[in-house]
Structure 1
């Protein structure tokens, strides 16, 4: 059984609103806030090298994207203004972040709350 690979047809960064808008070949379109992309970076620095090693990212409420560069035909590197630049976002990762945005964001907010962290209004 093979999974369908999702390919973006459009990627637009809206720096003023800190949102990455991405459309895919199946018609799906997502608006992914920079903070969300930063705290769910696929980098080992954030995800760890094994289950249970994930790092809870805090203080990223106003993070922005400074650059996006293609990685072959399958991904982009996203450069954030807090210096984070090691995550390679494969198309399927971005699609997954879009499809599951509500659930993943709720899980992140729950983890922040459990850690006693209060998000800053921006």
Structure 2
């Protein structure tokens, strides 16, 4: 079994609404929106294969805090009240290394559903 590398550094950038993870192969910035729409929670993923719920209107979401969960994951608390789902080290590593593909897939799902990233909301200052 391959061991997933742990990030050597984790930084929450509240102003830019990003979470930066540094690994041996580089630093990766994941936006709050990206993390929120790819939450590993049952609320987002559903309770079975193919039962996921497309997250819309999350363009302006921010991360309130990042908390360790044991030695295996992070709990990310978002300002829209979402705080369920644990981002395991494996999942975070996967999100960092496949961010572009996952983002394009998400945008295609939004388009197919006739939904949007902002739902007409105005950016918070």
CA positional deviation for 1:45: 0.8
Matches within 5 A, 1:22-41: 22-24=21-23, 26-41=24-39
Equivalent residue pairs, number: 120
- 1:82-113 per-residue CA deviation (whole Å, 9 max, x = no partner) reads 00000100111001001110000000000000
| Residue number in structure 2 paired with 1:82 | 80
TM-score by length of 2: 0.91
- The yes-or-no answer on 1:95 pairing with 2:93 is yes
Give the 4+ runs in structure 1 shifted more than 4 A. Answer: none
CA RMSD of aligned residues (A): 1.3
CA distance in 2, matches of 1:87, 1:9: 22
Q: Where does the alignment leave 5 or more consecutive residues of structure 1 unmatched?
A: none
Of 84, 108, 111, which aligns to 2:109?
111
Of 48, 56, 64, which aligns to 2:46?
48
CA distance in 1, matches of 2:17, 2:85: 18
Q: Where does the alignment leave 5 or more consecutive residues of structure 2 unmatched?
A: none
